[in-house]
């Protein structure tokens, strides 16, 4: 046995036992998959991954996504042994390794950079947060899309600035989740030849062997998707793994699936195919047997032979450093040859916006009939996208309805090069795949693009997992959700959102903005484009909404504060406050006119964003909703939950307390009480309740 092969085996077994020791000490975790998949991941990192451990955020690095997130110790061991340097942004300015042996020894404990599942912005070298199965696979599609778009947009002859590959390792659970099917279908359609999924098929899940629930031919399924499929029968045969990775690198017209037939606890006969090893610590006795089998001291923990980090340094470390240095040389020449393009690349890397990006935003004139906020949003988006070349995205087959088509000359469609588009295109056709769409947009955003996805608000239910992960990762993802209320009308309760607004507002970090008119829609985009670490959802109407006369009422720019006084009595002393969002603001304004005619002093507050309003100081919030004015009515065609905080104990919440109905919009609104008359009655009632005086 040659020295090189000995080092390979030693490195693989070190990964295995670091994982087993960490899980055992934590008394929590999954040792089986890290042990079984160790040869597969090791061969990729040590021989193929183009990655500089000294610069884990290098723009043209290959990406490795651990979709099977419960096998996190596999990734942490690789990061540690490869010597990945921690980004100062992630480690509060400190210069330190991304993962230390102390982090591994405190796996799954508070303060460790080795949490139970990989978390983006917690550990350098973790490209995306994973854990919910299938999410990593789907997010990797967005990363590969970004790579293709960056290459098509910025590469020039002799300057292949972007040519990175994306590898994602997943297991049986990832393949069972529906999102992986959506994402694989999309990737095959797009011909993403820079994408390689590695399917670690160990045929064991928590309930037992997969044949109790999963018996399909995955290879045939992926061939049907249009993927290249190659199989590795024994992952301990590194030559077979080499052949599989080389097959991926030679494939230029489609993504590749490498199907690896591994075994839980592979290499240790007493653990092989054990469901217990999948989801539990091995236990002291079995762990000692395992260490003896692999030739490690049975009574020592967290053993790292000194040759192993040196071996990684000579492999991935040296190869990555050389590739990075060559890229830096290429980038310097690119700056000289293409300075304007280089400026864009620098902005993408920095997460900044071009000068004057918002200087041409449209201003909409007053109009009693108005336009739908989805239409206004579409006009604003097209202006912004011409100023920000890396602002791009699409819809789940609904762009004509969500008005997210980029229609200016040269926008094009992102497709595999052919008659209907190429990889330069900025319009993305995600198909009827809401969940995969949002995950892909997450991946595009992780790659530096300002990406958006859109659909009907009701279908956020189909994309919830990926929406939540964007907030968990603090990504500046942009969502445009339309058809925002029972105003959908004839489509009926299946398409009329009720609880969806509340559910989005419940996600920590998410900014939800429901503009009341066209100019608020423009300001919503201005706010969203400046967010750096928060996802945002712009919620738009299908039906036309009156465009407020801003010469008579407050400026739409106040949307940035989340809520503002739109209209007030001349003396600024209201006896009742009407609070609305979106289409219901115009209802409040109409009710105001009736109440004024009856001698009632009315303030109308437009509250497009709870989150932005709560970000303001108490003095500002009290100036909008004075504590002394307790007669309040909130109006929103959605769930009432949460509105009591703004209505107060004597206020009235006008909201939906059931599902909707199929009928014309005016009939639906009248049936559920969203009429001027109903708002007026509620205003008078709350005045009486709060003051004891009839209005």
Q: Which residues are catalytic?
A: 434
Q: Is 419 exposed, middle or buried (0-12, 13-18, 19+ CB in 10 A)?
A: exposed
Partner residues linked to 565 by β-bridges: 605
The answer to whether the CB of 478 falls within 8 A of the CB of 452 is: yes
3-state secondary structure of 478: strand
Q: Give the H or E element holding residue 187.
A: helix 178-190
| Structure-block tokens of residue 522 | 């423009």
Q: What share of the chain is helix, strand, coil (3-state, %, to 5)?
A: 45, 15, 40
Three-state SS string over 316-344 comes to HHHHHHHHHHHHHHHHHHHHHHCHHHHHH
Residue 553 tokens read as 């009422």
Identify any residues that bridge with 367 across adjacent strands, giving them in sequence order: 547
HSE-up of 633 (CA within 13 Å, CB side)?
Answer: 30
Residue 276 CB-half CA count within 13 A: 9
Please work out, in degrees rounded to the nearest 5, the angle formed at the alpha carbon of residue 215 by the alpha carbons of 210 and 219: 110
Helix (H, G, I), strand (E, B) or coil at 112: coil
Cα–Cα distance for residue pair 62/85, rounded to 1 Å: 16
Query: What does the DSSP assignment read for 439-451?
Result: HHHHHHHHTT-EE
d(CA 427, CA 452): 10
């Amino acid at each position: 046995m040659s020295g090189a092969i000995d080092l390979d085996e030693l490195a693989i077994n070190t990964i295995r036992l670091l994982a087993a020791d960490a899980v055992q000490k934590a008394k929590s975790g999954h040792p089986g998959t890290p042990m079984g998949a160790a040869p597969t991941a090791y061969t990729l990192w040590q021989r193929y991954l183009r990655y500089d451990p000294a610069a884990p955020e290098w723009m043209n690095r290959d990406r490795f996504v651990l979709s099977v997130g419960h096998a996190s110790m596999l990734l942490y061991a690789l990061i540690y042994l490869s010597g990945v340097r921690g980004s100062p942004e992630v480690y509060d300015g400190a210069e330190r390794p991304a993962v230390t042996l102390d982090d591994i020894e405190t796996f799954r404990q508070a303060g460790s950079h080795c949490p139970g599942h990989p978390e983006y912005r917690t550990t350098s070298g973790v490209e995306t947060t994973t854990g919910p199965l299938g999410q990593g696979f789907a997010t990797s599609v967005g990363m590969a899309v970004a790579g293709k778009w960056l290459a098509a947009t910025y590469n020039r002859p002799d300057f292949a600035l972007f040519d990175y590959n994306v590898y994602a390792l997943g297991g049986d659970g990832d393949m069972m989740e529906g999102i992986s099917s959506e994402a694989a279908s999309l990737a095959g359609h797009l011909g993403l030849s820079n994408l390689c999924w590695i399917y670690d098929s160990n045929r064991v899940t928590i309930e037992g062997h997969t044949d109790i629930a999963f018996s399909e031919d995955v290879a045939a399924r992926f061939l049907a998707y249009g993927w290249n499929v190659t199989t590795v029968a024994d992952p301990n045969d590194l030559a077979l793994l080499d052949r599989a990775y080389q097959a991926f690198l030679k494939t230029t017209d489609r993504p590749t699936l490498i199907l690896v037939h591994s075994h839980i606890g592979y290499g240790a006969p007493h653990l092989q195919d054990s469901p217990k090893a999948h989801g539990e610590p091995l236990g002291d006795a079995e762990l000692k047997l395992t260490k003896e089998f692999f030739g490690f001291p049975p009574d020592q923990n967290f053993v790292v032979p000194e040759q192993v980090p040196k071996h990684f340094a000579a492999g991935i470390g040296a190869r990555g450093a050389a590739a990075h240095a060559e890229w830096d040389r290429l980038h310097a020449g690119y700056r000289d040859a293409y300075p304007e393009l280089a400026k864009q690349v620098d902005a993408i890397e920095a997460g900044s916006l071009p000068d004057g990006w918002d200087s041409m935003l449209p201003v909409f004139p007053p109009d009693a009939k108005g336009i739908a906020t989805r239409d206004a949003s579409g006009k604003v988006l097209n202006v912004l996208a011409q100023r920000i070349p890396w602002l791009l995205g699409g819809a789940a087959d609904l762009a004509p309805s969500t008005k997210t088509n980029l229609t200016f000359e040269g926008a094009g469609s992102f497709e595999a090069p052919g008659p209907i588009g190429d990889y330069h295109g900025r319009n993305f056709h995600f198909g009827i795949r809401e969940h995969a769409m949002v995950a892909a947009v997450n991946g595009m955003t992780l790659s530096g693009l300002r990406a958006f996805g859109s659909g009907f608000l009701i279908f956020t239910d189909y994309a919830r997992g990926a929406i939540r992960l964007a907030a968990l990762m603090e990504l500046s993802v942009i969502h445009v959700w339309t058809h925002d209320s029972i105003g959908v009308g004839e489509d009926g309760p299946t398409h009329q959102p009720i609880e969806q607004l509340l559910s989005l507002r419940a996600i920590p970090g998410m900014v939800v903005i429901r503009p009341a008119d066209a100019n608020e829609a423009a300001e919503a985009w201005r706010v969203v484009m400046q967010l750096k670490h928060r996802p945002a959802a712009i919620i738009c109407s299908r039906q036309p909404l009156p465009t407020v006369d801003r010469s008579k009422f407050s400026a739409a720019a106040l949307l940035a504060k989340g809520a503002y006084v739109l209209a007030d009595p001349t003396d600024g002393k209201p006896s009742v406050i009407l609070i609305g969002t979106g289409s219901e603001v115009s209802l409040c304004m109409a009710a105001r006119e009736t109440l004024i005619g009856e001698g009632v002093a009315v303030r109308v507050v437009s509250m497009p964003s709870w989150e932005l309003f709560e970000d303001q100081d108490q003095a500002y919030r009290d100036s909008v909703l004075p504590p002394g004015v307790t007669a309040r009515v909130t109006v929103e065609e959605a769930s009432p939950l949460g509105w009591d905080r703004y209505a107060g104990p004597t206020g009235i919440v006008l909201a939906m307390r059931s599902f909707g109905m199929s009928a014309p919009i005016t009939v639906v609104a009248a049936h559920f009480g969203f009429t001027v008359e109903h708002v007026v009655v509620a205003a008078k009632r709350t005045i009486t309740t709060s003051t004891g005086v009839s209005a």
